[in-house]
Amino acid sequence: MNIMKPTLAFLALSITAGVHANNLDAARAIENKTNLTSSYSQQKVDRSAEAVLTMKAEIEQLQEEVKNLAVYRDHLARLVDNQNQETASLNQQIHGIKETRQGVVPLMYNMIEGLKTIVAQDKPIKHQQRLARIAKLELMMGQADISDAEKYRRILETYQIEMDYGTKLGVYQGQIVLTDQQNIEADLLHLGRISLVARSLDGTHYWAWNEQQRQWQGLSNRDSSSIDKAFAIASKQTAPSLITLPVSVKLAASTNEESK
């Protein structure tokens, strides 16, 4: 009986030790599993945190792009507004140009008619040249390859030439029609529009334009020297000096059409 007791005690201890060992292994397994789960969870948290940071960076980048796009949108809006203003201004200018052209064209025709009147009522200074110049202007008005601006410039140029006839001393050759309707070639000289005289090519006959009667009037030989001197000055053959010429103007209060 005494021998059996130690044996039972040892067996009981062995069983108890086995139970404790199993419990310890189970605890270790649970601990390992817990540690593994915790590790996975931490990795997941780390990945989530990294994803959050990435998304935050992307959001900030997108916000910056949206801000830049807003600035660019405002810039485009200002450009469009400016272009609209320029378009409106151009349309207004085009409309003004159309109105100007509609007004300029009749004006140019009226100016040409005015030139005709001037030449018809004026002394016959370079008469044929002036008529030919007006004929060219009339022909020009029907030419589509010449701009309205150029047409207007040429008409103004013709008016300037007409003005110059009234301020210059000029000499040229041309035909004159005498009182007997005889056409002769002669040298002509004009001092502005004050005096218009003619001299035969052989220098033996002289005439002055009588504005009152609108015809050429013969001059006496006593006028020849002063007229020859005027021709020499106009041709730059002698130095300018005082000259005396017949006056070819209308005298409203006198019956004497020619005076000196």
Judge whether 188 and 171 are in contact, CB under 8 Å. yes
pTM value? 0.61
In this predicted structure, what is the pLDDT of residue 253?
46
Show me where the domains of the chain are located.
98-165, 167-260
In this predicted structure, what is the pLDDT of residue 21?
64
Residue pLDDT tens, the chain, 260 long? 455 555 555 555 555 656 566 777 777 777 777 777 777 778 877 787 888 888 888 898 888 888 888 887 888 788 888 878 877 886 777 677 667 778 889 999 999 999 999 999 999 999 999 999 999 999 999 999 999 999 999 999 999 999 999 999 999 999 999 988 899 999 999 999 999 999 999 999 999 999 999 999 999 888 899 999 999 999 999 998 898 899 977 655 444 444 44
C-beta atoms surrounding 205 within 10 Å: 16
Which of 152, 247, 137, 136 lies closest to 191, judged by CA? 247
- Return d(Cα 193, Cα 30) in angstroms, integer: 132
- Return d(Cα 201, Cα 210) in angstroms, integer: 21
